[in-house]
Structure 1
Amino acid sequence: MPSATCWYPIPNCLNLRYSHHRHHHLRNRKVTSFSLRRSDKQIPIRNPSAAILHRTHSCIKSEENHNRITYNSNPNQNHKHSLFLPFLPSTDLRSTDKQNAGAKIQKQLQGGEQNEFKVEKNEGLSANMWWANVKAALGQRINLEGILCSTMVIVKDQKLALPHISVPDIRYIDWTELHRKGFKGVVFDKDNTLTAPYTLTPWPPLGSSLERCKTVFGSDIAVFSNSAGLQEYDHDGSKARVLEGAIGIKVIRHRLKKPAGTAEEVEKHFGCESSKIIMVGDRPFTDIVYGNRNAFLTILTEPLSLAQEPFIVRQVRKLKNSFVNYWSRRGLKPPSHKLLPDPTVCVKEPLSP
């Protein structure tokens, strides 16, 4: 085997002593070892001829890797290498510190990854909330279910879009007479029926009529709207609670947009069948169709304000109203209601302020 060519230089502070076993003639025997004397320890070192050779860069790197692997391979034997610490390069002396530092850095990185995950999670939640708000805004303006249902009404069953009673607003409704006829509860649409579009406060001129309705029907009044209480856009009911606090009327939570769905949630709220409940709204193909399909008494009001409605919504409203007016002129009648054969008895002129 060739002799090694990259050992470390021997410090001058150590005493060197050659040993040639039992022979004293160095000419006839190759010296194979010598000893380092430090304190009272003797450490055999192989290949003394390499002690004075200059190390190349590749040797230095190879030896550093060798020492690092040897030193860390067996923790129980590391104390045996303590005598060689003066000979080890500075990179090996700091290997343990580097490992500890590396562990700390790794831990910090892991913590950073966890924090990054939390940030990404929060960003994901924020993105989901943003998209939910966008869907809610679009859904309040573009009712796909309503479009499909409107198409079916136009083609097959036009009378579902015709109200039992048509009034400019709720001030023209005789709540006392309706209660005397046997009706137990009133359910209102919100936007453009009680409030301006996308607002929470009741339309001021309607205050006296709304209070009269509360006096007559007590707590048996509620809001049933596609912009409040719909689980798709208000799954935790927070928006419904805000509206309840603003207008002082209970908001019914429901699963499907009007005109889709049954009267199950409304009947459960009032504790009576739907034929004893009044549906009041401003959209014939939404509020009125839903009410007539489920045997409510239906009252259509004119919209309170068109200024805040998007242009496309105003155009759709105008088109649908033209259908309703056309069918009414042709003599088409809404479905009959057993509690109110003559709806005109429940219409009155509002009191002058």
Structure 2
Amino acid sequence: MFSFLVNNNNKGKRNNGQDPFSSEEVQTKSATLRGISSNMWWDKVRAGLSQRFNFEGIVSAVTVVARDRRLAVPHIAVPDIRWVDWGELKRRGVQGVVFDKDNTLTCPYSLAVWTPLVESLEQCRSVFGGNVVIFSNSAGLDQYDVGGVKKPAGTAEDIEKYFGCPSSVLVMVGDRHFTDIVYGNRNGFLTILTEPFSLAQEPFIVRQVRKLEKSLVNNWYQKGCRPTNHSLLSEAKKCVKDPAL
């Protein structure tokens, strides 16, 4: 369930350096996204309900806690995407990047990339070209993608078909342990966890669940729980940088 294609240069389309979430860009892609509603108020209400009632996520969380806590532990954790060296990731074997949207690239339910992250996202796009997509629960509602499923449910089959490579050479970047990271680890991605940068617009219950997730995973990590094995992990650890340097 892809909510937006950040760049499509290798599929015969170019966005000429525009903000991937500018109003003009969204309008031109509205047909392929099955008609994003112009009633933004109602969209936000539905988005909020979607965030509150991710039944797949609830079932998955119970399973993770009971059976395999490693799935919720990211391979790499950074403050935000500015800490990722995209060029180095590609040199070390990564072929594409899958982003979560809310609190990874944008404020919740916003279409505009958070200003401090624009440069890093552009660097990512320049490195990977069309092999950059967004896979978002909040944007992927039924009115946008009929029959779509939410992370962490679903397989990587459609993503692998789009990229033309196995998920083992793709990166999943997101801010939630029990959705983004569990989905990525379960399907063989290299997973990168970022910190959220805007909690004020999130529903109260989402903020509380987020705190619980972080507390649980930190506790498991302190007790020796480590992420799932990944062939690129040792190389990927060398791809974290300090953006201030």
TM-score normalised per structure 2: 0.79
CA contact (8 A) 1:132 1:233 kept: no
- Indicate whether 1:346 and 2:230 are aligned: no
Letter of the structure 2 residue corresponding to residue 154 of structure 1: V
- Indicate whether 1:286 and 2:197 are aligned: no
Question: Are residues 184 and 346 of structure 1, via their aligned partners in 2, closer, same or farther at CA, if it must alter by over 3 Å?
Answer: same
Letter of the structure 1 residue corresponding to residue 201 of structure 2: Q
Cα distance between partner residues in 2 of 1:157 and 1:339:
21
- The match for 2:166 is 273
- The match for 1:233 is 143
Cα distance between partner residues in 2 of 1:235 and 1:132:
13
SS at structure 2 position matched to 1:147: helix
User: C-alpha displacement at 1:208, in angstroms?
Assistant: 1.1
User: C-alpha displacement at 1:339, in angstroms?
Assistant: 2.3
Cα distance between partner residues in 2 of 1:208 and 1:136:
27
User: C-alpha displacement at 1:342, in angstroms?
Assistant: 4.7
- Indicate whether 1:217 and 2:110 are aligned: no
Letter of the structure 2 residue corresponding to residue 269 of structure 1: Y
User: C-alpha displacement at 1:307, in angstroms?
Assistant: 1.0
- Indicate whether 1:318 and 2:211 are aligned: yes
- The match for 2:74 is 163
> Pick from 184, 193, 200: which aligns with 2:95?
184
- Indicate whether 1:199 and 2:110 are aligned: yes
User: C-alpha displacement at 1:211, in angstroms?
Assistant: 1.0
Q: Percent identity?
A: 61
Letter of the structure 2 residue corresponding to residue 282 of structure 1: D
User: C-alpha displacement at 1:228, in angstroms?
Assistant: 2.0
User: C-alpha displacement at 1:300, in angstroms?
Assistant: 0.2
- The match for 1:149 is 60
Deviations, residues 136-195 of structure 1 (Å, cap 9, x unaligned): 431123311101100110111000000000000000001111101111100100000000
Letter of the structure 2 residue corresponding to residue 287 of structure 1: D
> Pick from 152, 157, 160: which aligns with 1:264?
157
User: C-alpha displacement at 1:256, in angstroms?
Assistant: 1.1
> Pick from 187, 198, 201: which aligns with 1:305?
198
CA contact (8 A) 1:279 1:298 kept: yes
CA contact (8 A) 2:86 2:127 kept: yes
Cα distance between partner residues in 1 of 2:73 and 2:238:
18
Tell me whether 142-151 or 193-202 shows the greater mean CA deviation.
142-151
Q: Which has the larger radius of gyration?
A: 1
SS at structure 1 position matched to 2:173: strand
- The match for 1:16 is none
Question: Are residues 177 and 262 of structure 1, via their aligned partners in 2, closer, same or farther at CA, if it must alter by over 3 Å?
Answer: same
**Structure 2 unaligned residues grouped into runs of 5+:** 1-40
Cα distance between partner residues in 1 of 2:222 and 2:201:
30
Cα distance between partner residues in 1 of 2:140 and 2:54:
16
- The match for 2:49 is 138
Letter of the structure 2 residue corresponding to residue 234 of structure 1: Y
User: C-alpha displacement at 1:341, in angstroms?
Assistant: 2.6
SS at structure 2 position matched to 1:341: helix
TM-score normalised per structure 1: 0.55
Letter of the structure 2 residue corresponding to residue 195 of structure 1: T
Letter of the structure 2 residue corresponding to residue 184 of structure 1: Q
Question: Are residues 132 and 213 of structure 1, via their aligned partners in 2, closer, same or farther at CA, if it must alter by over 3 Å?
Answer: closer
Cα distance between partner residues in 2 of 1:214 and 1:161:
27
CA contact (8 A) 2:47 2:109 kept: no
Letter of the structure 1 residue corresponding to residue 133 of structure 2: A
Cα distance between partner residues in 2 of 1:319 and 1:133:
24
Cα distance between partner residues in 2 of 1:197 and 1:293:
25
- The match for 1:83 is none
Deviations, residues 65-91 of structure 1 (Å, cap 9, x unaligned): xxxxxxxxxxxxxxxxxxxxxxxxxxx
- Higher RCO (CA-CA < 8 Å; seq separation 6+): 2
Cα distance between partner residues in 1 of 2:44 and 2:223:
42
- The match for 2:8 is none
**Structure 1 unaligned residues grouped into runs of 5+:** 1-129, 237-253
CA contact (8 A) 2:98 2:133 kept: yes
Deviations, residues 256-304 of structure 1 (Å, cap 9, x unaligned): 1100000012111111111111000000000000000000000000001
Letter of the structure 2 residue corresponding to residue 233 of structure 1: Q
Cα distance between partner residues in 2 of 1:320 and 1:221:
27
CA contact (8 A) 2:131 2:163 kept: yes
Cα distance between partner residues in 2 of 1:269 and 1:275:
14
CA contact (8 A) 1:136 1:233 kept: no
Equivalent residues in 2 for 1:81-92, closer than 5 Å: none
